[in-house]
Amino acid sequence: MHLHNRLTSSTSRTSSSALLPLSPVVPCILARARTFMGALLPPSGDFSLPQLVRYAPGQKFDLHHDWYAMPQLLADGRRFNRPASFFVFLEANCTEGETWFPHIKMPEIREDGEEGKEAGSARWRERGGGTAFRPVEGNAIFWVNLMPSGRGDGRVVHAGLPVGEGRKTGLNIWPRRFYA
């Protein structure tokens, strides 16, 4: 696995990841994320560099959360946490490999807006009392990581389930909330 552009080894995370290098496209991606977030991201907030992640057959990322138990310290002395997460499916030429939230249950609403058992069948499914989002190229998942108090929300623990055949590539975008 590559974490922050260095090779590391982990049994809980077997996917590969790398930070997106600064290029003309990165500010555009982050500007769109900022617009989406609206007032959820305070004016003093910014973003970490987006992270590319790739899953090959059998690769996975066990249950984890994206927020930090203790705010992280930057080299300039500012402390931050991740108030929310975006996960964008860039490539989904795979079987399985869903992103699973065991404590989040989706409502049963069909794509035509009516309630019914086939709820979200093309995009998500019920799994173990929670919701598993299928990798669909061009789709994204967004969730809020922190409670209004600033504490992490344990309900958003999630996992990248093992890919069956093929490959899944995604993009993580994490805003930062700074603390005094």
With 70 as the cut, is the pLDDT of residue 179 above it? yes
Closest CA to 100 of 84, 118, 87: 87
In the prediction, which pLDDT does 43 show? 79
Closest CA to 89 of 124, 64, 65, 58: 124
With 70 as the cut, is the pLDDT of residue 8 above it? no
- Return the CATH number at 114: 2.60.120.620
- For residues 121 and 105, which has the higher predicted lDDT (pLDDT)? 105
Give the chain's domain count.
1
In this prediction, residue 5 has a pLDDT band, given cuts at 50, 70 and 90, of very low
| pTM for this predicted structure | 0.86
Closest CA to 161 of 134, 180, 142, 141: 134
Instruction: Provide the 3-class DSSP secondary structure of residue 91.
Output: strand
Q: How does DSSP classify residue 71?
A: -
- Residue-range definition of the domain harbouring residue 95: 2-179
In this prediction, residue 58 has a pLDDT band, given cuts at 50, 70 and 90, of very high
In the prediction, which pLDDT does 132 show? 96
With 90 as the cut, is the pLDDT of residue 89 above it? yes
